[in-house]
Amino acid sequence: MGGGNNAENDSQKHIQYHQPISGCCRSHSYPETNFSPGAKWIKGLTHDRLGVFVGGHFGEVNLGHVLFSERVDDDKHIQMVYWSAPGRSKPGFDEVMKLDKKEWKELKKGFSFGPSCITGGYGGDRRVDFIIPKDARHKGELDIVIEVSCNEMFGVSGIGAPDPNRYFTLNSADLVVPNQDAWRLMWDFSTLRELVDDLPGNSILQNLCLVTANKIMNTFDIHDPERTIKECRKIAEDVFGEGWEAKGADIYKEGLGKGKKPQVWGIGNCHIDTAWLWPFSVTQQKAARSWSTQIDLMERYPEHRFATSSAQQFKWVEQLYPKLHERIKEKVKTGQFQLVGGSWVENDSNMPSGEALARQMIYGQRYFRSRFGVTSKVAWLPDSFGLSGALPQLIRGAGMENFFTQKLSWNNVNTFPHSTFNWVGLDGTQVICHMTPVDTYTAQATVQDVRRGVWNHKNLESSDTGLLAFGNGDGGGGPLNKMLENLRRIRATANEHRELPVVSMGESVDDFYDDIHKHTEEGKTLPVWRGELYLEFHRGTYTSHGSIKKGNRHSETLMRDAEYLATLASLFKPEQYSYPKDTIDTCWEKVLLNQFHDVLPGSAIGMVYIDAEQNYAEVAKDGRKMIHDALSVLLEDSKGIAAPMSLNEYKAMGGQFAMINTLDFPRSETVILPITESGENTVELDGGLVQPSKRGDRVFAVVDAPGRAIGCVSAPNLVDGVGATAHQTEDGSFVLKNSSVEFKISKGRIVSLVDRELGRELIPCCTTGGLVMFERDTPPNWDAWDTEIHHLETSKPLEFSNLKVHEAGPLRASLTADIAYGQSKIWVEISLDATNATTLANSRPYIRFDAKVDWHERHKFLKFELPLDIHSDIAYYECAFGWVSRPTHKNTTQEAAKFEVCGHRYADLSEFGYGVALLTESKYGYATTGNVMRVSLLRGPTSPDSEQDQG
């Protein structure tokens, strides 16, 4: 054997041995050896790179660079002029278009606009597309009018007043041609990234989305965008499904088997605060801009349904933008534009009276029926700061049986236990309430929003659907096309994969609630919540901006009296009197407008309250005139007294005082009459007795009046002939006393309150009452809105000083006192009348405190408190059309969270057979902790109104 032969044989054997390797290129063959490093990825690094595909640091080489195929800004293509409205004026579009061309000035990029103003808005992308009409494209020329406001996300300085020294520069005003394929790829990628970020880690779909997004990034070529963008979009179909985009709105008709239904129902909405960081006039423009945008989207996205509330905003649009109003009417007819709420505005529901809450719905529903021929079926208050237990009855009375809200998701102590439930009101009336598990009314239609609609639902066992209310809000805007595009992609993904909830579009809010009724046996399988929906947050709103609370209470009372007397006059003297319906409606609309949930609570900027106070002034003027006109007819020979007169002048006129009791029950009260008379003794008037005031500028008289009747001055039955007295004791204390009670102030504090008829001391030993300053009212956030429990740890009792006897009796006795604190001064008159508070047998008189305050405190909280020798686990507070009981203890966190609560005219602490009440003329904040009752008087927040209640 030769070596060569052996070598040859060996070589042949070797080749034969390895022949099978030649088949390694066949796809069905698994290689025997492997020299590659493997396909193992580092998932976190791949995930991190997704953030640099659009814009950012690599904007010149990624997708963001090709979003526009053309961009020009030269004078040949763009000419601009501007006109600035003077002051706070808001002229209409037609008015501006009639201006002389000479009033318009040339505008270039780099021009500074200002000073800054506030219109509010929503952070993030607010791009609104305007599709250029075909005729303008053929013509090659188009005039566009743009309204510009100088502001940022939330005004120009966060939540506060605008900076008058700040200006803004026009940086961009270009004519561009968008690359539609690039934009659609951007939306594809955005949805994929949301899926990667929000789906559970290491799930099949999450990994698929990450792989797909990574492939897209590797495929895109900045040097060949047209071809690679198409390839990238094809890759996205690995998640969304083949040909998904061609289906358009029909994508929502797929993916549900027989008997299956969507879990999340999408409805566009546009929460426009009727006033907040902007005045009412700005809201008029917000409504027009926002709703016209939504009508445009409806034309491009047939599945888009849009719900909005607030009849007041529709009335503004009708008056100022009549063409838009007609377009809205057409979309209401097609069911794409849905009217919800049934109220005049999205009102606060803690502080308005029952009558005012009823009027909100009466005026709202009446407007919707008269203009659109529809009645809202769903009450809609997503942002109100707590909800009165009177609402269910009123909602049903207004023709609605469903209610939408979500604000209780802001609770800062306890999580509200339900998402869909029967809400039962004070009288047992119920509505189906849905608190969206998405926990917002301004959802951005993201994957997280859709998933939250299921995983955050608190009672899936009884109702498994959630409402996704999406769209930019607070400052308006509503849904954007990118939101509608995102929802199509989310639904396409859910049609292909079962790791996502199924989101539905194309149905209305009414359809959503109809589905709940159907699948819960008309609410029988739902949980029940009885009574108020107390918000464990924003408790300071019961007190902030005290002047606006006073205007509300006085206006509500005035309108009741004006309507009552006008009704009597129209019934008994129809030939002489015409019911002033237009004036009444105008007044009520102003009162209802001011009850918007950021106006009445005191959480708007200062310029809002200029308008609100003007509304109240007009209501007061018109209300008093209506009362005067009605009485002039009812009491034909009567005459109003315009100014005080002497007793002799009054007697020379003849006749007598007539006091109208507009309430249902009899009253016997000490009142003030405009008669000037001096002296220390009572004098006769109209067959009764009156007491001249110490200053001689008025007299006090006891007036008796049956219910809903005319009263007159009476001769009071003074026990022991004494009546009410005031005096200083030898130890320096001051005492007010009548036959029923005795009230004592010592060393500047209230130390005794004795029920003389029972011989019962009501102030516990070693405790005192009076004014208290809580010196650190500094909530972590939301200054005008919040007061937190820790403010109660910084109390400083204030002492009455310079006490003097002011009126000595017998009809009214009173003391005057001063209180100084910091830069503030308080003047108080404390009085006691000879008459009891009511005509009931066991009634007692009330001690009256009239205070005038020159307030200059910041982040402090002034209250009045009174400790009582009364034991009760609950206290009672007036609310709309009733009362609500709340705990005086802190057994649970739910009870502890109610350290500041809302009440109307009284709070009552009673044990069996006996009780004491605090009554207020225009305050709404109360607390009863153990045996200590408090009423909140003034706060000093500095945002959003830095001058709130100052002076």
What are the backbone dihedrals phi and psi of residue 732, each rounded to the nearest 5 degrees, phi first?
90, 0
Burial class (CB in 10 A: 0-12, 13-18, 19+), 181: middle
**The two three-digit tokens of residue 901, written as one number:** 């609560």
Quick one: which of 369, 319, 317, 361 has its CA closest to 341? 361
Q: 494 to each of 238, 273, 917, how far by Cα in Å?
A: 13, 34, 59
- 3 state DSSP class of 291: helix
Quick one: which of 75, 63, 69 has its CA closest to 173? 75
Q: Which residues of 855-868 are buried (b: 16+ CB within 10 A; e: fewer)?
A: bebbbbbbbbbbbb
Distance CA 544, CA 724 (A): 36
- Per 3-state DSSP, the chain is made up of helix, strand and coil in percentages (nearest 5) of 35, 25, 45
Triad 153, 154, 155: Cα angle to 5°? 100
> Quick one: how far is CA 363 from the chain centroid?
19
Q: Given the structure tokens 């009508």, which residue do they identify?
A: 295
Distance CA 219, CA 235 (A): 9
Please, are residues 745 and 768 in contact by the beta-carbon 8 Å criterion? no
Please, are residues 937 and 824 in contact by the beta-carbon 8 Å criterion? no
Q: Residue 841 carries which DSSP code?
A: T
The helix-helix angle for 280-300 and 311-320 (nearest 10°) equals: 90
Distance CA 352, CA 549 (A): 10
Q: Residue 531 carries which DSSP code?
A: S
Q: Given the structure tokens 């601009």, which residue do they identify?
A: 80
**Which segments of 199-302 does DSSP mark as H helices, in order?**
204-219, 225-240, 280-300
Sequence length of the chain is 951
Q: Is the four-CA dihedral 113, 119, 124, 128 of positive or negative sign?
A: negative
Distance CA 11, CA 23 (A): 20
Residue 908 a catalytic site member: no
Residues 6 or more apart whose Cβ sits within 8 Å of residue 234: none
Distance CA 546, CA 549 (A): 5
**The two three-digit tokens of residue 140, written as one number:** 């090659």
Q: Name the β-bridge partners of 770.
A: 865
Please, are residues 278 and 154 in contact by the beta-carbon 8 Å criterion? no
CB count within 10 Å of CB 682 equals 21
Q: Given the structure tokens 């509608």, which residue do they identify?
A: 484
- CB half-sphere exposure, 350, CA atoms < 13 A: 30
Distance CA 920, CA 11 (A): 111
> Which one of 188, 348, 383, 908 is the catalytic residue?
383
Please, are residues 593 and 344 in contact by the beta-carbon 8 Å criterion? yes
Residues 6 or more apart whose Cβ sits within 8 Å of residue 786: 537, 538, 539, 540, 779, 780
- What is the DSSP track for 685-729? ETTEEEEE-TTSS-EEEEEEE-TTEEEEE-----GGGT-SEEEE-
Residues 6 or more apart whose Cβ sits within 8 Å of residue 550: 921, 922
Distance CA 627, CA 747 (A): 46
What are the backbone dihedrals phi and psi of residue 574, each rounded to the nearest 5 degrees, phi first?
-65, -25
Active site residues: 383
